Amino acid sequence: MSLRLNSIKKLLTIALALGAERTCSELMPFLTETIYNGDEVQLALAEQLGTFTPLVGRLDHVYCLLPPLEALATVDETVVRDKAVESLRNLASQHSPAYREDHFVPLVQRLTSGD
């Protein structure tokens, strides 16, 4: 568990080494598919992803951060969900209403129709 937590805490370094394109196309799908168990790891991931806008390139590439944050917003642990939602709100506040409607509204609809 501590190794996973350390790797999540080094995501910034990993994303910088990969570059914006590979962070979007490889790292984010990997994180989405392998959301680690463990509240501390999930909390650290939710917190990290909220600051990843510069690491995915431009603001219009933030959509690639949404799938892992959506997955984290559905976990059982309230603290993790709250942090994921906080990160999503932070990302949404940086965008135009049209971008939010295209990318964030469908996410919110999926979250409200889930368990």
- pLDDT tens sequence across 26-72: 999 998 887 767 888 899 999 999 988 888 887 778 889 999 999 99
CA gap 4, 10 in Å, rounded: 10
Beta-carbon count within 10 A of 83 CB: 23
The residue written with tokens 């080494």 in the block is: 17
Q: Looking at beta carbons, which pairs linking 103-112 to residues 24 or more positions away fall under 8 Å?
A: 103/62, 103/63, 103/66, 104/66, 107/66, 107/70, 110/70, 111/70, 111/73, 111/74
Average pLDDT (72-92) is 93
Report field, pTM of the whole predicted structure over 0.85: yes
Parse the chain into domains and list their residue ranges: 2-113
- pLDDT value for 65: 92
